[in-house]
Structure 1
Amino acid sequence: MDAAIATRVLGQTLSRALHATGRGVVLVATAALSLVLFVATTLATAFILLGIGVLLLPLITPLVRRLTGLCRELAGQAGVPIGTPYLPGPSLEPGVVGWVQRCRSILTDPATWRDLLFLLLNVVVGFALGLLPATLLIYSVEGLVLSAGFWMLMRESGVDFWYGFTAMDTWPHAVLGALVSLAVFGIWLAATPHMVAGHALFAKALLGPSERAVIASRMRHLSETRSDVINIQATELRRIERDLHDGAQARLVAIGMKLGAATRQLRTNPDVAETLLVDARNATATALEELRCLIRGIHPPVLAERGLEDAIRAIALESPMEVDVTADVPGRLAAPAESAVYFAISELLNNVAKHANADRASIDMRHEEGSLRAVVIDNGRGGADASNGTGLRGIERRCATFDGTLVLSSPEGGPTVAILELPCALYSPRTSSS
């Protein structure tokens, strides 16, 4: 058992070192491109006064940002995530004025100059930290090959070869060379992931978002979500108005007319008046049911009275599919957050019932570390895409209003997994544990 564990650990270590060496080779390529783009960006900036730089800089900058984006991606693979640091771009006018505005936006963004500094330093840092892992690996393999007997072939050819500080001319020296190569191999195994991680930390120091960029990104997000909230509220108000006008209001008007007719017929034709009163009573019951449905659409009574867990279970019971619910939310959320989660999960189940051709789904909902996480899985045909419909996009906008996210995985053939996360706090104990 110990040997199997040691073999597995060695295999994992070797795999990490090989992957890190591969990323190191990519870093060497980024170092070469950094030199080219640094020179190009510097010349374009210098030629702005001549006018040609205004045309060149907006063409070169996307290439620079694509390269730095690749470095951020490599840093993320090494366990050092780096956010996007660029300020939101302005609305651009067409023609030459737009090119000037774009150039000005690039030059006034602090991230542009940090990218330029990164390009300059990455020529050295990226080349050194990227090339060193491959060099160590090749050097260790070279020592093992020489020590295995290749040194004898070189001696017969009249070539004196040294490995490190050891002359490869006798078997004792070959054994010493093999030990050195094994030591180099051990250094490669242990140090290579740290070298790539070191480059990731270097990249984060220069390519990470500044405080100004974080604030600007936050303001843009708040502006977008505020706009979404306003649009959602306006749409919801129009729906309520339409439902009231076409449903309950029309029925109440009809009830009033029936009651007026019954009043006129009461003395002269009591039988007709009785029929009209019965119709009015039935219409009253129908109008009341429509009002209750409308209220459930605004804020379901089960959600207000019994909390999110029982409200989700009620949705599951009403679904035409078999839906398993597992929930652990030991308290009540703020009413807007509860409503957002309720309607988001309701819309997800409606989408599954309408489009997924599924007969079974599951909901797992938990509140952990200050966030509510709900996972909805169905056994349908898959292929769901938020960009192809308004339902999923509406759920994304509803979650974004609360800084939440919707992550969708829906390969063709299924299953579809929708993960909804919403940062929120618990305010009071739940009202029901059923």
Structure 2
Amino acid sequence: MQKPQRHVGHGSRYLLVGLFTAMVSMLILPLLVVGAVASGLTALPVLMKALRHWSEWHRRRAAALLGVDMRPRLAELPRGLGAQWRQLLDDTENRRDLRWVLRHVATGIPAGLAALACVGTAVFSVVAALLWQVFPADEPLRLLGAVPVEGWGAALALGVVQGAGAGALTWWAAPRLARMHARSTVAALEPSEEARLARRVGELADSRAGVLDAHGAELRRIERDLHDGTQARLVAIAMRLGLAREELPDDSGALAKLLQDAHEGAEEAMTELREVIRTMYPPVLADRGLEGAVSAVAAGTGIPAEVKLGELGSLPKAVEAAAYFIVAETLTNAAKHSGATRVTVRLTRQDAALLVEVTDNGLGGVDETLGSGVIGIRRRAAALDGTVLVSSPSGGPTAVTVELPCAS
């Protein structure tokens, strides 16, 4: 806990510095206007960045006085004038900075003048009492408002009384005024609850995108290790077992049966391993990308399929894998249960989401309560915070629409 004298000193210094910066801040809005007009509005984003640094310095001072932690507000400018102007118009913190300038001028000057009056009176009382003889006889020093000083006794007595009064007022008022002004500064510059929530959502979205990318990379690494390592060793074992079976004489009996079981078990393990690899991260997706993989699975579905692909851009690997499996599962359901003679697959990018639409002309009537493949589709989409919409009236058609967030 701070000592009282330090508390008073910090408050007085805070207010006096605030008085100076408030007077400087009176020039900010005119400078913004002049700078923006003189540069043809091209310099306004840079000027607003400078204002952000100015306001953040005051925000840190206020937070230090109040003893609270504040998360800094970023003021980085993107490349390109268009991007800078979009940020300028979208960032609510810029409007907050402009409102703070007006508040700082309106509150910082009165509070600073009050502190200056208190501190100045206390200092003046001491200095003037010691120098009372400098004043002319016809205009003597007057303390306590109107009492003339005509001797050392009066000078010391009146100087002590006035200085003590001003000091007591400073002791009481300076910390309170400083904290009031600091709270006002923090309130003006601290993001609102909605802004903090939006920022947190953005951070979580970025974090999730990073996790998805890392997850996709790990799946690809495991797939490569299984494909190039474990699967290759199983193939070698199966080949040796096959060769051993061929070298055995016909009357080997139980040994031949054991080798046969081992050989068949190795081949079954390879089949299961290939299935696991395909369900983790399909090799066709790694080799041909999402567009090629979807075209390949549509071509092999057994139903005439039309694939329509928009401009997808760069997608997280986990989103690509989910989209591939969703298309594959939907096409499998259509081939097995719908009686459809035609299916359309459409992949498009809409802002920060990948839209997957699969429509068939089958009989419709999908009932998810019977354990249809739609449940698996919903689970894959939910893992990425996606949404699934199924329209399947009796008699058809059936349309499955999946939206997968893919912003990074």
* Aligned partner of residue 54 in structure 1, secondary structure: coil
Residue 202 of structure 2: aligned partner: 220
| Equivalent pair of 2:118/2:170 in contact (CA under 8 Å) | yes
CA distance in 1, matches of 2:69, 2:191: 11
Q: Is the 8 A contact 2:65 2:179 kept in 1?
A: yes
Shift of 1:206: 2.4
Q: How does 1:32-181 map to 2 (within 5 A)?
A: 32-43=23-34, 47=37, 52-79=39-66, 94=80, 98-99=81-82, 102-103=84-85, 105-107=87-89, 109-147=91-129, 150-154=130-134, 160-165=140-145, 166-170=147-151, 171-172=153-154, 174-181=156-163
- Whether the 8 Å contact between 1:143 and 1:180 is mirrored in structure 2 is yes
1:19 aligns with 2:10: yes
Q: Secondary structure at the match of 1:169?
A: coil
Q: Secondary structure at the match of 2:26?
A: helix
Shift of 1:124: 3.4
The offset of 1:228, in angstroms, is 0.5
**Gap change, CA 1:178 and 1:267, over 3 Å in 2:** farther
- Separation of aligned partners in 1, 2:224 and 2:90: 49
Q: Deviations over 1:151-172 (max 9, x none)?
A: 4433588762223424333414
Question: Per-residue deviation at 1:32?
Answer: 2.7
Aligned residue among 191, 208, 211 for 1:209: 191
Change (3 A) 1:168 1:107: farther
Superposed counterparts of 1:254-265, under 5 Å? 254-265=236-247
Map 1:245-394 onto structure 2 (within 5 A).
245-267=227-249
| Identity across the alignment (%) | 27
Task: Tell me how far apart the structure 1 counterparts of residues 169 and 198 of structure 2 sit (CA, whole Å).
Answer: 44
The two structures have a TM-score, normalised by structure 2, of 0.51
Q: What is the CA deviation profile of residues 54-102 of structure 1, one whole-angstrom value per residue up to 9, with x for unaligned ones?
A: 224223211211111112111211225556678998x76x4xxx35x63
Shift of 1:237: 1.0
Question: TM-score, normalization: structure 1?
Answer: 0.49
SS of residue paired to 2:237: helix
- 1:55 counterpart SS class: coil
CA contact (8 A) 2:132 2:140 kept: no
Counterpart AA for 1:249? Q
CA distance in structure 2 between the partners assigned to 1:110 and 1:201 by the alignment: 20
Deviation digits for residues 190-227 of structure 1 (CA, Å, limit 9, x no counterpart): 43232222112222332222355334423321321121
CA separation of 1:266 and 1:104: change in aligned 2, threshold 3 A: closer
Whole-Å Cα distance in 1 between the matches of residues 25 and 72 of structure 2? 19
Distance of 1:192 and 1:250 partners within structure 2 = 79
Q: Counterpart of 2:41 in 1: which secondary structure?
A: helix
Asked if 2 retains the 8 angstrom alpha-carbon contact of 1:87 and 1:216, the reply is no
Pairwise CA distance, 1:232? 1.3
Q: CA deviation at 1:231?
A: 0.9
Contact preservation (8 Å) 1:20, 1:193: yes
Pairwise CA RMSD of aligned residues?
Answer: 4.1
CA distance change for structure 1 residues 104 and 244 in 2, over 3 Å: closer, same or farther?
closer
Distance 2:13 2:46 in 1: 30
Aligned mate of 2:225, from 202, 221, 243: 243
Structure-1 separation of matches of 2:26 and 2:70: 22
Distance 2:18 2:232 in 1: 70
Tell me the number of residue pairs that the alignment of Structure 1 and Structure 2 aligns.
258
Alpha-carbon separation, structure 2, partners of 1:164 and 1:106 = 54
Structure 1 segments unaligned to the other structure (5+ residues): 1-8, 285-434
**1:256-289 CA distances to partner (integer Å, 9 max, x unpaired)?**
3443344445559x9xx9xxx9xx9xxx9xxxxx
Separation in 2 of the partners of 1:267 and 1:164? 126
